[in-house]
Amino acid sequence: MLIQAQLEHRIRSCIDELNALVTGQGCSLTDPEVVHKSMELDELILLAMRPLQPAGKVAV
| pLDDT computed for residue 59 by the predictor | 54
Predicted confidence at residue 21, as pLDDT, reads: 97
Mean pLDDT of the region 2-15? 89
C-alpha to C-alpha distance for 49 and 26, rounded to whole angstroms? 30
Burial 35-47 (b: 16+ CB within 10 A, else e): eebbebbeebeee
Largest CA distance in the chain: 46
What pLDDT, in 10s, does the model give residues 9-59? 999 999 999 999 999 999 999 999 999 999 999 999 998 888 765 555 555
> How many Å separate Cα 21 from the centre of its chain?
15
Say how far apart CA 39 and CA 35 lie, in whole Å.
Answer: 6
For residues 53 and 59, the answer to whether their CB atoms sit within 8 Å is: yes
